[in-house]
Structure 1
Amino acid sequence: MSQQNAIQTIKLQRERFLAFSFAMADLLIEVEQDGRIGFIAGACRRFFGEDDASLMGQALVDRIAGTSRPLVGQLLRQLDAGRRIPPIEIAIDRVGSGPEKALLCGYALPGHPVKYMTIGAPERFRALLSQNEDRDAESGLHSAESFAERARELIESADDTTGELTMTFMELEGLERLERSVAPQAYKDLISEVAAFLRLQSVGGDSAGRLDQGRFGVITGSGVDASRLASGLAEAVPQARQLTVSTHSQQLHAAGLSPDKASRALIHTLRRFQSEGLSDAVRADPGSQFRDLLQETLKGIEHFQEVIERDRIALAYQPIVSLDDGRLHHYEVLARLHDGASPYEWVTLGESIGMIAAFDLTICRKALADLSDRSAPADLRLAVNLSAQSLQDEVFLDAVEVLLEQYANLRPRLSFEVTESAEIKDFRAVDAAIQRLRGLGCQVGLDDFGAGSASFQYLQAFTIDFVKIDGAYVRAMTDSRRDQALVKGMAAICSDLGVSLIAEMIETDEQVELLKRIGVKFGQGYRFGKPQIGRPTPPPAPAAAATAGAPASRGPSPEALAALRARRRRGASDTWM
């Protein structure tokens, strides 16, 4: 190759790399070993208010706005060869105006002392940023929930080429005390620098989260020694030496489980770890608590599978009646586990680990078997609970359709109650699933209406046949005009939509009369019969029920009312019970 051709090839390569760089950035910066700008090209005036010549030789951190300066400084100091800085939103100190928002990325090449940075306009990447909105406001790290989701993504995307992933919990004891004793900006700077350290240690530069004020989590790859994170933090962030730093590491795999099940087990454990907090007994070693919770979850998964595979589930039946004359309308099917465990806790575990569809399908099979029994009354009708998560599972829907094909004559006598225990993410898909079940001849309704924050949103999004009012409203309404008004409003909405309304947890004659005046047609509760395991039997007549052990009280106590309203704020928890 001639010298001229060699020069042309080098120029072409340079132009190619510049084109690649500017495809994702507006500004390219080389930062020398001493932190000064050695090369800069691109939209300098847009971000800094100056041209490239005037910026050469300036310290980059001096041109970063004060709020972002500790973070950027720490990132530059810790950016080792082969590591990268993921997209981070910062503020630049622009001449002649206020701080200018920008998106910073960076990389360090092995064998090169300079750091390669890119800056882009955030609006160009707004869609990318919006996917990561669930962040801790102070640190910019993942929140507890999105950190768990990030762990799931990493586990499920792992393959034979992926190194061992390790999750480390880091407890910074004394952080609250430090916040009270130093200037607000000094505290913010410390959090920014801790966040920068964790980001750079994490897989992909964005696998760290803040789980609580003084508790952090970070997922590292095989190239990071998780046991040295505490000492590494003390070296990188001198202010952290005022704190007592403890860590516990856990490999992200679970023997015998698929990646999906393993990730779900981990997420379930993380959520419990976050919600329960540290007990005094394990505060010195938070990892022991997480380890115990994980083992408990793994045992729970094994037991859950065993319950389904060995059919250790019994069905209990509770009547739903017409409030006008007390006649039986249908029964709700409720799960009972042979070992006496709480069905709700099992359902929550099943949803967290992605196994609730198998549980729901088992209940459907058993309910249809009871309906088809020769000794069952010809007019017997049953309602089965379905997790919203199951309705978002195509395999489950296909299995239910096959099952219903086997019992074609029983479809009009089987209905489904969709619960709010699992979050609904795709409203269109769930409504399509509901219409698929309705198209097969089964009615579908919403359970515990009013207990969750999205109840009215569900009513707007789904075409359904009936709604069940959460029992907290019913039990409180005899002593609360406010709750009466709410139930009356629900009844009016359902009437206008042509949707039947069922009230649950009815215990007294006074409640029955109030509900009838409001316009509620159907009811369920101890007033008409408790759930009974075994063959369903018709409830006693209303007058007899009043003397057969139904509570005579006029309503719950003030303490009970407070508990009911707290339960309503948390969401329904009596499903399947």
Structure 2
Amino acid sequence: MEKPCITGPSAFDDWLRSNPDPVAIARGVTLQDIRLLRWNDAFATLLGMREDADPAPRFAAALTRMAQLDGQQEHAFVAANREALRAGRTKTRWEFLDPAGKRLSAEVELTALPSLAPDVYCVHIRDIGAVIETQAELATSEARFRDLFEVAEDAFGFISIAGGEPCFIDCNAYLARLYGASDKAQVIGATPLDFSPPVQPDGRSSVDRSRMESERALEKGFARFDWYSLRLDGTPFWLDVALTIQPSWGTGVLHFSGRDITDRKHAEQTLARAEELARVTLQSIGDGVITTDAEGRVTALNPIAERLTGWPQIEALDRPVGEVFRLVHEDSRRPVDNPLLRCIAEDQAIDLPGTAVLLNRDGVEYQVEDSAAPIHLPDGTLAGAVIVFRDVTDTRRLADEISHQARHDPLTGLPNRREFEHRLGELLEQARRTDAVHALCYVDLDQFKVVNDGCGHTAGDQLLAELATLLQHRIRRGDLLARLGGDEFGLLLTDCPPDKATQIAHDLLGAIGDFRFRWGERSFTVGASMGLVPVSAGAASAAELLTEADLACYTAKDLGRNRIHLFRHGDADLARRRSEMQWATELRDALDEQRLLLYVQPICALGEADGPPWYEVLLRLRQRDGRIVLPGAFLPAAERFGLMPLIDGYVVSRAIGHLLACGRAAGARLSVNLSGRSLEDPGVIGMIEGYFADPGHVSGRLCLELTETTAVAHLGRTREFIHRLRGAGCLFALDDFGTGVSSFAYLKHLPVDYLKLDGSFVRDITREPIDRAMVEAIHRLSTIMGFQTIAEFVEDAATLELLRTIGVNYGQGFLLGRPAPIESMLEGIPQSAIGAA
């Protein structure tokens, strides 16, 4: 069948045929009325029209079939055709199936052709399926991008800098949260400078720094930097920012990527502070520090190490450590193994031997102490080593001086007691190993106190120094002379039997006797007492040897001074003096440990009682094993070694305490014995005077007993003492009266209250007429002078009755009451029933 057509210029037909898109000329607006007037092959193919068919019904049928138009869609189809005829042109969208059943999306352009007829229009179909697919893919891609943009753990945004000042034009939620915003709207439209301090930590303004980084990003295409930011609440934090050009967003838009690096910055700052602290510490510590790599090459020196080694760090770097840190033995001068190299080789800490000397680059020597330790990486790999060392040259020199001073006497320069005892111990050990015999000589100067007290301590010191020089030049080579303290010297004679030692001691004694000490215009001679002790294998200890030498020296002094006494076991004099020395030691310990006990014995009135209960305070010593010792065993040693003021002070203080304590003395009177030396002791006298100055004391309750010997030997001091204290209410008794040769002659000069008759007269008064006559004479004289008498050793009824007949006022003895602890006064020790006795 011939294809229907319309007449027209051939140019239109050419355009129709050459157009690749489906194009047709149609007439009519509804599916029922529409007719095709002209079409091209592409149009026929798209709609599946065959050459031999009537195009009009085939076109309508194809549209209906392919578009699957329902009523609403058909209405839209008709409306689009009418709009094209009315307006001249319109576009619509056709969705239909092609002949193969594939769904097509087509954009249809309808153009009215009024020049042909009022209801004729051109149908131009464009397949936009690929475009729609691309748009769908783009939409999907954009949605995925947006999802990634929003859920990313980094802060993303886009910044426009077209207006001069950077401005966020978009951001993800993470960036908003990072800035402390609750919504992106608080960020979009704002500038990053709104979330920044005015000045960055490097000192540059945030505005200048922002401009510089933006320009660098535009120029280079990328810029990355750290940025100090502020959240909306003012909290500071750090961002790692990357700016990237985004051409797709237009000119002047940068992609903003930020990561919170606050923790990293804090860690870096902490590390930097630690490194700076380590650097400053390393630079400022007083020890030298050298570090090396694993091959032993220097990697660092601090200033102290530079000074001690003589190597500046810049020159020492990468040199073998043995070249920079050179060590030799202080005595042999042989090289010492470098501790750093040993530390690396053995992979353990190494200490330098104390005999090492550091050789400075310039030849200066330093005595050093050091320690080296390996340096390990976190994985345990050996990275090198470090050595820390210090200059101990002055310290060791000072230590040597201190050691010398600790072992020597500063006045004479001789070894002191400590060094002497050490050397004595060595000699004793040698004697035990070899059966050799040595000698120990203890020297105590006589008459030294005369010089020291008469001319002063300076003269005494000069005398000791000159004598030390004299003796030092008189002893043999290998012997040791030491100053043991005060005016005492010690001499160790090596390989010297007793006879030889005695000869040497006599020579020294003669040299001392010939020595004349001059001080100003005065001249003095001194002597010495010497004690000799053999040092043999049988000696118990060095301390025992010293004790024996001291005892022998004391014996020589006691036997007349300026002589030598050789210690021999079994010597009676030495045994007695040893016992006294032991008691002296025991007394000192007992005083420290308060093992001296106070007992009391009643002094009873032999007539009618006219005063308070009266007790004499007696002393006992409790030994460590619990045994109680009477004073006759230890008081002689106390007198000999000058311990009586200490003992009297101990007794007086406790007796006074009993008198002052409320209710403890039960109103009793106490008699306390005082030795002669205590009358010269300020401590004891002050204690007694303090009692009478105390408002709590009661007059007449304290009686001080002085022996007749003591009173006569210190007559002037005793009289002054008695006069001063009697006015305060103190009573005095003269003890052991009758034993002295001049008792009656001195009695009138001693204003005492009581005379105690010596027990040697009272004990046999009933059998010895002379003793009775002595007691009667003393009592009559006492009565005339206004004294009362006290008889000791009242031990039987006959003696008591005779004493009463004579008229003696008081008695004391076992018959009247035995001694008991002073605490028993609290129980009210009763006066003996005189009448019953």
TM-score bracket relative to the smaller structure: 0.3 to 0.5
Higher relative contact order (CA 8 A, sep 6+): 1
More strand by share: 2
TM-score, structure 2 as length reference = 0.34
TM-score, structure 1 as length reference = 0.47
Indicate the structure (1 or 2) with the bigger Cα radius of gyration.
2
